Structure 1
């Protein structure tokens, strides 16, 4: 693939309409354990109906639309319908608690929200209502003044919310010609992915339609995704890896999407066997779980041909086992971050196992990668430094946050990733550390500053510092070093139980150690290197 990029579609709605014609009779989505099967022509019709309903609800180009729900056909339909109406999608992490979701909705100024009913035993609607108040005539949630409508992706909805059925019915008076007349240029924003930085304050990376499409057309090309592939999407849709490397990539190639709302090894094994799955991306922990599951040999996994992983250290033994034990033809690793459309480097088909395991591959076409010293000087191969990225994939900036944007995005286009890495002589990148102290829990990014801010709200916590520690199952988990307030008898179990009520599960520290004080340098900053050296369960 050359650095230039040409495609028959310049926006996501154009891609949806193109795929509905080109792959009309091809199975697009298999949902609900195989009970629901939709062709690409059928998906196109569903998306057009959802777009009409968005217009009927007053959504206009540039409006933000939130979606807080697990992987499903309805998620795909709602999201693509919103962007087809010209909206900017704001995906919310399904592990969020109500207050966390409300904060993102408030800061993005979301006008419309799609929300699941009950998921994993939790009512997301009730959680939001506790965080943002009860509905009234002005809107469904008084604490979110910009929100004009909220749609529950189920058959039941409380007062001031719409059911999915009622929402779709509201668009019946909007003609197809009106929907198709909405002009969405490639330069328009397609989504805002909220992530956290060193300050712990969520920041929304603004990405355009053209950036998303070029990045994941490239991903599909480099991975070798093709028409007829059956793609089990376990990666959550709220994450770029699930939505864009999943849904958008499949649309470009006519692959079949099989969304799985929650990762469970046995369910994944059954899905691979029953649906003859050929493509399965995911974090290394997913594949370790599949390979080590006692029922693995009871399932026919011979259809698998492509695995893409990353987000953590990939053991060479894992690559070898995927090839030897499962017969997977192609195993690739990649690296990306939300601020760069989620995609920066990737291994190539044919790379030896040592390169796949030890690196995240080379820069994708149209993208440059540098490693620099603290003063910005370029470093030679083999020398660790901060990873910088420049190219078509770099975000337009953080949503309504020019100061934060200026901190990471230079006038000449170079993006500071905050990651420490090493380039080899062939240009393969190996991530070795994180300037931002981020650690990865089973594929989910955990940001210590954000977790520290939440823990500091506990009345018995005087000071706290969080670091990532190795975990044999999840890759890394959080450990909190806590200074109690005078007279407090707070225990580790108490704080962990409190944390489970206040934050997403992957953010909850698995270990708590009480200390008389935190190590600090001469300027008063906590020396986390000392804590990491002392860490361990």
Structure 2
């Protein structure tokens, strides 16, 4: 059955900026002296933000960033992240964000495969110096020719080549000049002063709506990250619609707790704020104590995040001591959302407008949005209506549409579908069929209103505190442990994180794997959110006649609990 709602919640916005560079200029002109950003003691208007982004764009040109060059960023949320990225993308660079929880090998793999020439990074975040971790890793960094430290919140990392000034060949303790110099952000910006207005204008004009804006890497069922390519025009059209549907409006104050390396943080955060004249309040990490204080002090009106964010606020013992009366809009999803949580967001936190949504990186982040005024059951049990101007179907394994109420694979078609996977035409052809339908790998059902409910995941992905985890990647790591003969990982519900990983382990001969040791092994090799929280030891994994692991059976077992760590 096809569902296409072109008039969801009113007509679409009028034609606006066609590129991200045009968006920055539009916001500076349209919202001018309104507050655009508050980061620590720094407060900028939209006009000032536009000037800061222009300075970063000049710097990108001064450092040789060409149209189409890939620029990676491995750093937490900050104003420097915003200006550096928007500046580079404004003059034609293609953004490649890296998860701040990655280990050095994971980050290096994406830097190398994307062909990134410049890397923006940070020092001192959660005790990490990302430039040192990467440059000292011994990993092949491909075409990387320079690193810029956006923010240094700690002491320089120890090493034989600790920085003695704004520029250090090879970085702090790095492998030498083969990967170019490491610059402080101020030094990076200073070089841009030599770039003329005419040069900047020419490069900005050369960027078009069909040019690539970003490549976001997302792991597939094989565990190998794939680079999703999306254009300027797609991104802006999707988030102009999304911003309108969720009722984001001029004057809102939006606490940006979702990480900028994710579509939700960057596009539904930074770009949406520029589109609608909303004040950005970036947070590098989610800490409930700090969030409560800042929400009260900054009169936060918009908060979005996975259920764990709202669960933490609602149940915080000192919540009543903080004035949260400005909160009006709350967005959640990316995991199971209890009906009671929706009611508590409205009644306890006092946010009348609540929504859930569904999307994937391959759809520019959005497929459906549930109206903010829907009843609590609908918000919790569905993900709403398709994005205006797009199509959605539920199909059987042969690709034939199914009737209302019948479960099947969710497929979507429209302007929001990715341009493809980077350097992977085979995977692209598997994801997008000859008629342009993107096969999501998710199982869903449409009700008689056209609302979509997601009931299962064909691809077995699960979501831990808002982060996507893919069993195959975790399984590949655990198979390398000498005590593991076979392994299967599934997601299971968790009150705090939405879902967590549960591993089913077949021990190697004459061994008894220790859960704590398996956890340490995995944590050394993967980001922490990917590490299983529980383990079951089994003599063998359940399989069907064809030898395929029966993960449905394992999920049922996982819900009952297992051997903990």
**What TM bracket, shorter-length normalisation?**
over 0.9
- Tell me how far apart the structure 2 counterparts of residues 172 and 458 of structure 1 sit (CA, whole Å): 53
- Tell me how far apart the structure 2 counterparts of residues 193 and 144 of structure 1 sit (CA, whole Å): 18
Q: Work out whether residues 479 and 510 of structure 1, in 8 Å CA contact, stay in contact via their aligned partners in 2.
A: yes
Q: Within the alignment, does 1:440 sit opposite 2:446 as a pair?
A: no
What is the 5 A alignment of 1:39-50? 39-50=45-56
Structure 1 equivalent of residue 147 of structure 2: 150
Q: Work out whether residues 407 and 445 of structure 2, in 8 Å CA contact, stay in contact via their aligned partners in 1.
A: yes
Q: Within the alignment, does 1:169 sit opposite 2:183 as a pair?
A: no
- Tell me how far apart the structure 2 counterparts of residues 129 and 455 of structure 1 sit (CA, whole Å): 26
- Partner SS for 2:542: coil
Q: Which stretch has the larger CA shift, 451-460 or 69-78?
A: 451-460
Q: Select the residue among 494, 512, 524 that pairs with 2:535.
A: 512
Q: Within the alignment, does 1:343 sit opposite 2:371 as a pair?
A: no
Q: Select the residue among 291, 315, 335 that pairs with 1:268.
A: 291
Deviation at 1:188, TM superposition (A): 0.5
Structure 1 equivalent of residue 178 of structure 2: none
Q: Within the alignment, does 1:450 sit opposite 2:473 as a pair?
A: yes
What is the 5 A alignment of 1:138-287? 143-154=140-151, 158-159=171-172, 160-182=181-203, 183-287=206-310
| Cα 1:375–1:388 shift into 2, 3 Å | same
What is the 5 A alignment of 1:491-502? 491-502=514-525
When normalised by structure 2's length, the TM-score is 0.91
Q: Which 4+ residue blocks in structure 1 deviate beyond 3 angstroms? A: 1-6, 155-160, 487-490
**Which structure 2 segments of 5+ residues have no match?**
1-6, 157-162, 164-170, 173-180
Q: Work out whether residues 492 and 513 of structure 1, in 8 Å CA contact, stay in contact via their aligned partners in 2.
A: no
Structure 1 equivalent of residue 25 of structure 2: 17
Structure 2 equivalent of residue 465 of structure 1: 488
Q: Work out whether residues 347 and 362 of structure 1, in 8 Å CA contact, stay in contact via their aligned partners in 2.
A: yes
Q: Select the residue among 69, 77, 87 that pairs with 2:75.
A: 69
Structure 2 equivalent of residue 26 of structure 1: 34
| Cα 1:166–1:487 shift into 2, 3 Å | farther
Q: Work out whether residues 5 and 214 of structure 1, in 8 Å CA contact, stay in contact via their aligned partners in 2.
A: no
- Tell me how far apart the structure 1 counterparts of residues 540 and 427 of structure 2 sit (CA, whole Å): 31
Structure 1 equivalent of residue 430 of structure 2: 407
- Tell me how far apart the structure 1 counterparts of residues 440 and 385 of structure 2 sit (CA, whole Å): 16
- Partner SS for 1:161: strand
Q: Work out whether residues 111 and 142 of structure 2, in 8 Å CA contact, stay in contact via their aligned partners in 1.
A: no
Deviation at 1:532, TM superposition (A): 1.5
Kindly provide the CA deviation profile for residues 274-299 of structure 1, in whole angstroms up to 9, marking residues without a partner as x. 00001111111111110000010010
**Which structure 1 segments of 5+ residues have no match?**
134-142
Q: Which stretch has the larger CA shift, 75-84 or 343-352?
A: 343-352
- Partner SS for 1:516: coil
| Cα 1:324–1:377 shift into 2, 3 Å | same
- Tell me how far apart the structure 1 counterparts of residues 370 and 502 of structure 2 sit (CA, whole Å): 32
Deviation at 1:515, TM superposition (A): 2.2
- Partner SS for 2:116: coil
- Partner SS for 1:280: strand
- Tell me how far apart the structure 2 counterparts of residues 388 and 262 of structure 1 sit (CA, whole Å): 34
Deviation at 1:443, TM superposition (A): 1.0
Deviation at 1:499, TM superposition (A): 1.4
Q: Work out whether residues 75 and 120 of structure 2, in 8 Å CA contact, stay in contact via their aligned partners in 1.
A: yes
Structure 2 equivalent of residue 380 of structure 1: 403
- Tell me how far apart the structure 1 counterparts of residues 306 and 494 of structure 2 sit (CA, whole Å): 14
Deviation at 1:4, TM superposition (A): 6.6
Deviation at 1:483, TM superposition (A): 2.4
Kindly provide the CA deviation profile for residues 361-405 of structure 1, in whole angstroms up to 9, marking residues without a partner as x. 100111111111112121111111110011110001011110000
- Tell me how far apart the structure 2 counterparts of residues 126 and 518 of structure 1 sit (CA, whole Å): 41
The number of aligned residues is 526
Deviation at 1:3, TM superposition (A): 7.5
Deviation at 1:348, TM superposition (A): 1.9
Deviation at 1:450, TM superposition (A): 1.1
Structure 1 equivalent of residue 126 of structure 2: 120
- Tell me how far apart the structure 2 counterparts of residues 263 and 337 of structure 1 sit (CA, whole Å): 23
- Tell me how far apart the structure 2 counterparts of residues 417 and 3 of structure 1 sit (CA, whole Å): 27
